[in-house]
Amino acid sequence: MDKYEILRKIQSEVEGMVQPKECAFLYDCALQCSQGVIVEIGSAQGLSTISMAMASKMGKKVKVYAVDPHNGGGATPDPGWWDMNDPGTPDPKYYINQGVSFTRFWANVQKFGVDDIIKPIINYSEIAIKEYPGEPIELLFIDGDHRFNYVRLDLELWSPFMLPGSIVAMHDSTYPGVRKAINEILPKLNFHNFVEEPVFHATKGQN
């Protein structure tokens, strides 16, 4: 199967929020990875995860760490923590239900035969970082909680592991929280070459 047949099959069999041209972009980025792993924050049922893992399998077979609490509901259950200037993560009592919707994600992963490439971390990004083995990252795809404080944490916590020249791609970049993080946080973390389409992405400079 060629790239377009693979992507069409994934699109037709896995539900998700990422558009075909965005999956194609992630596929191309993943195919290029050879020096470090891929990390995805926000996998849901695995549409983008499997797109990247299938490419990795065609390429250098780098691992895809797939971070998602799979809590059955989506965002971090913390309505009070919204775009405040509060440093640090919310109270751990808000972190509930991890894993309840993991089964469907993993069934999709197995259907496409990429369970050897994908390494799930079933937790919220800001907690998952403590379980991460610390491998250098060549591609970081952020599609988790889109509120500013969480996108900021995604960037601040995971970017130290990113290799010079590696790519951060951010979904839903027109959402206010994501856009604010692009404008305010990425430059501070030494990202450059901002490109808006088909998925917003930027390149990490030298540390």
Interacting residues toward ligand SAM by CB under 6 A: 16-18, 41-44, 47-48, 67-69, 71, 74-76, 124-126, 143-145, 150
Work out how close the CB of 177 gets to ligand SAM at its nearest, in angstroms, rounded to a whole number: 12
Residue number with CB closer to ligand SAM (180 or 190): 180
Work out how close the CB of 2 gets to ligand SAM at its nearest, in angstroms, rounded to a whole number: 21
Residue number with CB closer to ligand SAM (144 or 177): 144
Work out how close the CB of 139 gets to ligand SAM at its nearest, in angstroms, rounded to a whole number: 14
CA distances in angstroms from 204 to 65, 137, 140, 152, 191, listed in the order given? 19, 11, 11, 16, 4
Query: Using CA atoms, how far apart are residues 49 and 39, in angstroms rounded to an integer?
Result: 9
Residue number with CB closer to ligand SAM (19 or 190): 19
Work out how close the CB of 104 gets to ligand SAM at its nearest, in angstroms, rounded to a whole number: 11
Residue number with CB closer to ligand SAM (94 or 194): 94
Nearest residue to ligand SAM by CB is 16
Label residues 58-89 b or e (16+ Cβ within 10 Å = b): eeeebbbbbbbbbbeeeebebeebeeeeeeeb
Label residues 166-193 b or e (16+ Cβ within 10 Å = b): bbbbbbbbeeebbbbbbeebbeebebee
